[in-house]
Amino acid sequence: MNFFARENPEEYKIHYKKRSKVEAVNHSKKAIHGDKVYSKLKSARENEEGFRWINHNINVLNRAMHQWKINPLGD
């Protein structure tokens, strides 16, 4: 990564920015919902994790609407 950063600084900045955003979102979700999955069946684990992401996204939209007065629907 250090070599890539020195040779292609502009591409590295774009890549690093995406990675930073992904890590921030994952940390936010884990802080709210925890990082353990409690279901035993594989399909149930996938569903549980999917519902956690849905819940997290709804949480973010509600916060945008009520705390920051942003209308996510764009009306």
- Give mean pLDDT in consecutive 10-residue pieces for the chain, a chain of 75 residues: 82 87 90 87 94 92 89 73
As a whole number of angstroms, the distance between CA 56 and CA 75 comes to 23
pTM above the 0.75 mark?
A: no
Helical ranges in the chain per DSSP H: 2-7, 9-33, 42-66
What pLDDT does residue 3 have?
Answer: 83
pLDDT at residue 75, rounded to an integer:
63
Tokens 């600084």 belong to residue? 9
At residue 33, the pLDDT reads 85
